[in-house]
Structure 1
């Protein structure tokens, strides 16, 4: 078994170079395959990381791609590693500087080159006393390579924009009567303002609740950039300081001759105290009840709380005055013992009260909306409101000429036919330009409303939110105080939930919040009703306005993405480094002046058959026998490689050697 250098008689340096060249040439193909496969894996993963899952032909998935290349990579280093383990057995027995080895180690190394179980036995037996354990370690963990590397791939679901899907909603730029049914808009809005409330007005109604399903989203997940639409805003002012209250001992006082009584004169009780509350300009009322409220439209351009705000006056649609009694002292002990909800129970527990007044102004404005749809649920919020008339300093735009509700029981307002087509223009917010407007005027992108349209909204509001309510201080057949109301359910909600519900009567803050919210609900309802084409909404399919333009958004869908976790791939990288180290150690061990004699036998079975010397073969049993018996004998035989044969070690205590190697 003389090597190439010995047969040619070359010097040692040249023999070393030849041996190195031969060894590298033999292992170069597998090394190249290993490196190329690993590089392909890294390149593909880097290119696909955080991107949608690829749609490869033939149903090939990223997992199958990784499994294929991982298997080939593992095969690329496992074949030379297995051969190198077999070759290492000759180096193990050829180390003259150490004590002889048990013949059984020949079988241990051979089994390690065949599979994981044999490699684990070698690791346990050799305990890192020879570099062959690196190869055994590789074989042991190679079974984990494929399942662990698969953990590198995750498929999280993420929202992405789908170009072929549709996302649209509606906005409106112009309000105009008689084209638009704005009187019906006001009617519907007053109904929704109280009907959709579920919190007893402790919280405002969200815009999405009123305008639900006004968005078309084909995927169930859509987003929209902020957009603008004309709407209605509300402001409230405390005008109690303008209120004058006079107390009379009986209703027959001459000073009450021209004063309308809440509930009508037929409800007046003789010889009972009367309170007269009045505001400048002829707004006055008289009542005998501790629980009374009255609200009506301010005619003309009159205002008590917004004289210093010309912009609101110019954009004003309607301004309402609200006068009510507010309890200031009540029977706390009786209230805590009996939560009496009858009219008599409420009045009896009020020991004292004061009169308060508010002005509620509804005006045109431009709302900024944010809309999104997630999992089919629509959410639209008003995130800003802007009121800036284009005609600066023009004064109040609308003048309302209405009858006296208490004296004449008239809800009607006279229309100004000559100004019916006059138009007010509102600028869009400067910081966020609106989407494409189909009705752009020569004055730029503005939002508009005509005079008659604003009249119709004001008339509709007065018809349904003006009125009064009072508890008559005379027992009926049920031994309770009846109460009298005029107007719609809005008036009833004001009376029963805002002013004379127990929490509102006891806590002024609760009353203020509820009063603010019920009128804010009305403004939100008006904005939603004029702004949305109600396709299958809370109030059915209605097209009350027509100057509608589409607002397009982005339809998104949940699409699986590739997310690479690099840590699991470190196992494959570590195996490659470990294989390179093991093969390098094996190579340099075999190309020295002795080891190269056996570089061509490697794992050959023929080499093992002829390597045993005569004495060694006889001591091992001389032939076939039971495996257990052969292993027992091999454990006791100390051998070494002498020349080209494995021979028995001379003058060595076999039991001691066997004990130490175990």
Structure 2
């Protein structure tokens, strides 16, 4: 029977239709309105086609087809993880600049892996939602929303974990959803970018094997008698140590400049152990050789001592002196520290009493001034060969007052000798560091190499002094022979004639100091200096060490130097793979596989008529199956919702694939939805 069309009342521009209900068995088909419905089917868009294809796969009898989409994404995750392992193994330990492409690929693949693992997890978790309501017992209706939120994010996953108390397969999916949030963090920790030094090129540093610089020669007569001059290239350096505190490092940036030639093209250079000719020092305490005496002796330290041209020597007076003597019991005692107790009044010298000797340095082998050798040239170091100098340094312990108080002075024997040093050097960030690994000094050669003879010429009188031995040092296990000629040795030795012998005196406690030096020169030479490097509390031993180092550096800087090749390193950033951080992503991958397979097995058992169907995260079942009218009113009616909201949330339901939602406590539950026709319902398209 066709519906009756009435003229409706207009309300807000919409015509109201009076509908009359038909019986349930009455035919509900309506003829289509004329000219409005065509037999031509409307084409589906791309998304509709994709959803239709997925629906067909979900309805398949084959379990693998039903889950093909999730299996493909899981395979993508496995492939990405395998690719990540291959890429990391290739770029591990390589230069960052070279491997930027590999690092980019790793970053992209890690993102794809996390996304690919999230999809099958959420789909499987969504499917377990329908199985949850398809069990033997009814479930609280509010679980539907918890499951739905769990398939979409972390908050719902946390609620689901508490709801299931971890005793359901869905709890594993919720846990994986939470853990996948941290997956990117672990991927970020896999690659570290530390820095290391890489070899870039060569560096060089100087050493010396044979030191024979060119030295000028002066001629003192028409017969061209050679007068040897001290090594001019070393003089300025040695004078700074003789009268001052030595050379000081030259600042270069935040550090100091090295004292030897080297080339370091980068900020970090190392050199292999190398050997070089150098100067070594040794000092020993000889206080036990001093004796305190008050006696009449030669006052060879008194200032303004006259020089006799006829005798070709200084005329030293005798006077009473108290102090510490060396060789006190011999015929020639030498006062090392003390003071005069009587005035000196001769035709050539007038000096008051109380003059104090503060510092004295005497050579133990003196071929220039006295032409004598004391104690075989050394007291403590007689077995050392190739000595450059050997001297005794005696200094007042605590100024002139300690001299008048007869306090024992500080006495050392110190030597400088040619040696071969084994050196380990490095140059880092403009800072040069040098370590003397070992030093080799030859022993023996105890006979004195010095000879001298008077030289009498019409225009020149003097003494011809000759050093008769070339310096030749042959360290064990070394093919090189280190040293110099006898003339070169003499030129270096001549530098020390300025201060050895020498002495520092004071006329009284309030007078200024007088330093008498260059004794070999005719006429008095003095300096107004305190000679602090040689006086306590400064260390004489340390000062000699510095002299030896300065001499070594100077001869290594000469034109005869050789360059040793080293390595120059530069900082580079490289890739370091920390494989242990991959354990978490691999564990998630394994758990996702287990979770998906377990879900496939569980859902395949109920895939028949009694099962919920393969809906996954689809919302279609919520539209297809509806609740009973009285159950709907508990949520749609404002009065009921406010009054019975607690009871509504506790409503227990069960999903039946044919009968729809079965509600606990309701006599009637809807069957599969059927469109009911009303007698007053107009055909589709009618107004």
TM-score w.r.t. length of structure 2: 0.67
Q: Distance in 1 between matches of 2:247 and 2:495?
A: 26
Instruction: Summarize the alignment of residues 510-659 of structure 1 with structure 2, pairs less than 5 Å apart.
Output: 514-532=539-557, 545-566=558-579, 568-592=581-605, 597-598=611-612, 600-610=614-624, 612=625, 616=628, 619-620=631-632, 635-651=649-665
Structure 2 counterpart of 1:299, from 366, 373, 391: 366
Instruction: Report how far residue 83 of structure 1 moved.
Output: 1.5
Q: Distance in 1 between matches of 2:448 and 2:211?
A: 15
Aligned to 2:459: none
Q: Flag the 1:594–1:483 CA change in 2: closer, same or farther, 3 A.
A: closer
Q: Distance in 1 between matches of 2:452 and 2:470?
A: 19
Q: Flag the 1:68–1:326 CA change in 2: closer, same or farther, 3 A.
A: closer
**Cα deviations across residues 303-334 of structure 1 (Å, max 9, x unaligned)?**
52747866523x1222223345557xxxxxxx
Classify the secondary structure of the residue corresponding to 1:175: coil
Q: Flag the 1:308–1:378 CA change in 2: closer, same or farther, 3 A.
A: closer
Classify the secondary structure of the residue corresponding to 1:644: coil
Q: Based on CA coordinates, which of the two structures has the bigger radius of gyration? A: 2
Q: Does 1:399 align with 2:437?
A: no
Aligned to 2:390: 319
Instruction: Summarize the alignment of residues 243-254 of structure 1 with structure 2, pairs less than 5 Å apart.
Output: 247-248=294-295
Q: Flag the 1:641–1:295 CA change in 2: closer, same or farther, 3 A.
A: same
Aligned to 2:127: 87
**Cα deviations across residues 593-651 of structure 1 (Å, max 9, x unaligned)?**
556855543333434432x15x536633599999x969959635422122434322344
Instruction: Report how far residue 172 of structure 1 moved.
Output: 0.8
Aligned to 1:190: 238
Asked whether the 8 Å contact 1:295–1:321 carries over to 2, the reply is: yes
Instruction: Summarize the alignment of residues 144-543 of structure 1 with structure 2, pairs less than 5 Å apart.
Output: 144-162=182-200, 164=201, 166-178=202-214, 183-193=231-241, 197=245, 211-212=258-259, 214-239=261-286, 247-248=294-295, 256=298, 260-265=300-305, 273=321, 277=325, 279=327, 284=334, 288=340, 289-297=355-363, 298-300=365-367, 302-304=373-375, 306=378, 312-313=384-385, 315-324=386-395, 346-347=400-401, 350-354=404-408, 358-388=412-442, 395-396=446-447, 398-399=449-450, 401=452, 414-416=464-466, 423-428=470-475, 430=477, 444-473=479-508, 480-487=510-517, 495-496=531-532, 498-499=534-535, 501=536, 504=537, 514-532=539-557
Q: Distance in 1 between matches of 2:571 and 2:243?
A: 36
Classify the secondary structure of the residue corresponding to 1:151: helix
**What residue ranges of structure 2 are gaps of 5+ in the alignment?**
1-60, 217-228, 249-254, 307-314, 341-354, 455-461, 519-524, 669-687
Q: Flag the 1:556–1:153 CA change in 2: closer, same or farther, 3 A.
A: same
**Cα deviations across residues 445-478 of structure 1 (Å, max 9, x unaligned)?**
11121101100011012224531111213x7xxx
Instruction: Report how far residue 415 of structure 1 moved.
Output: 4.7
Q: Distance in 2 between matches of 1:582 and 1:481?
A: 101
Q: Distance in 2 between matches of 1:195 and 1:586?
A: 94
Classify the secondary structure of the residue corresponding to 2:628: helix
Aligned to 2:348: none
Asked whether the 8 Å contact 2:278–2:418 carries over to 1, the reply is: yes
Q: Distance in 2 between matches of 1:171 and 1:564?
A: 43
Asked whether the 8 Å contact 1:192–1:210 carries over to 2, the reply is: no
Classify the secondary structure of the residue corresponding to 2:450: coil
Q: Flag the 1:496–1:619 CA change in 2: closer, same or farther, 3 A.
A: closer
Asked whether the 8 Å contact 1:239–1:357 carries over to 2, the reply is: yes
Q: Distance in 2 between matches of 1:599 and 1:281?
A: 127
Aligned to 1:440: none
Asked whether the 8 Å contact 1:152–1:566 carries over to 2, the reply is: yes
Aligned to 2:76: 33
Q: Distance in 2 between matches of 1:470 and 1:146?
A: 82
Instruction: Report how far residue 366 of structure 1 moved.
Output: 0.5
Instruction: Report how far residue 414 of structure 1 moved.
Output: 4.2
**Cα deviations across residues 338-378 of structure 1 (Å, max 9, x unaligned)?**
xxxxx7xx437842234675432221101111211222211
Q: Does 1:134 align with 2:134?
A: no
Instruction: Report how far residue 147 of structure 1 moved.
Output: 3.5
**How many pairs were matched up?**
542
Root-mean-square deviation (CA, aligned residues, Å) is 4.4
Classify the secondary structure of the residue corresponding to 2:373: coil
The structure with the largest helix share of the pair is 1
Q: Which moved more, 1:445-454 or 1:279-288?
A: 279-288
Asked whether the 8 Å contact 2:395–2:534 carries over to 1, the reply is: no
Q: Distance in 1 between matches of 2:147 and 2:63?
A: 24
Q: Distance in 1 between matches of 2:452 and 2:153?
A: 101
Classify the secondary structure of the residue corresponding to 1:620: helix
Q: Does 1:103 align with 2:141?
A: yes
Asked whether the 8 Å contact 2:502–2:515 carries over to 1, the reply is: yes
Q: Distance in 1 between matches of 2:597 and 2:487?
A: 95
Q: Flag the 1:90–1:175 CA change in 2: closer, same or farther, 3 A.
A: same
Q: Distance in 2 between matches of 1:320 and 1:47?
A: 67
**Cα deviations across residues 273-315 of structure 1 (Å, max 9, x unaligned)?**
45694557968458524443222332258352747866523x1
**What residue ranges of structure 1 are gaps of 5+ in the alignment?**
1-17, 201-207, 328-342, 404-411, 434-443, 505-510, 533-544, 655-662
Q: Distance in 2 between matches of 1:171 and 1:283?
A: 44
Asked whether the 8 Å contact 1:218–1:555 carries over to 2, the reply is: yes
